[in-house]
Amino acid sequence: MNLLSDTIGATVGKVADTISDLFTTDQERLQARNELKALEGTLISQALAYEARLFAAQSDVIQAEARGESWLQRNWRPVTMLTFMSLIAARWMGWTAPGMSESEYLSLYDLMKIGLGGYVVGRSAEKIAPALLRGWQTRQGGS
């Protein structure tokens, strides 16, 4: 699913593995595991709800910039990404900036990956986060 829910699941799994050492009867073990699974469901549900709110807030910022009054406010992100792409394309064509080190070019590549990946992943996650949350809640309610 994502890093946070995977971490929660792994942590709960490790705790569940130690339950047999802590409790003596099968009934106590089963009850403890059920309570642990309920806690895991609650934690993951809260994490997904938080991420949905985070994506909504990020979306609001981008939409506010897109509806901004000035040309620069509306277009600074695309202009920045086009600048990075131009610098990378120039390097591929053999045109290099004087005094620019290899590590600086690698930093440009990283910024480009973050910029493009963040936009695409952010928009995708913004669209699917509410559906994931509903699906998780339905699954927890149906179990």
Tokens 């705790």: give the residue.
15
pTM for the model: 0.48
- Per residue in 91-131, pLDDT (tens digit) is 889 887 788 888 888 888 888 777 776 655 555 665 666 77
> Distances from the Cα of 3 to the Cαs of 8, 26, 66, 85, in angstroms?
9, 32, 30, 29
Give me the percent of the chain exceeding a pLDDT of 70.
84
Q: Which pairs count as long-range contacts for 42-46, CB under 8 Å and 24+ apart, including other chains?
A: 43/8, 43/12, 44/1, 44/5, 44/8, 44/9, 44/136, 45/133, 45/136, 45/137, 45/140
Does the structure show a pLDDT above 70 at 143?
no
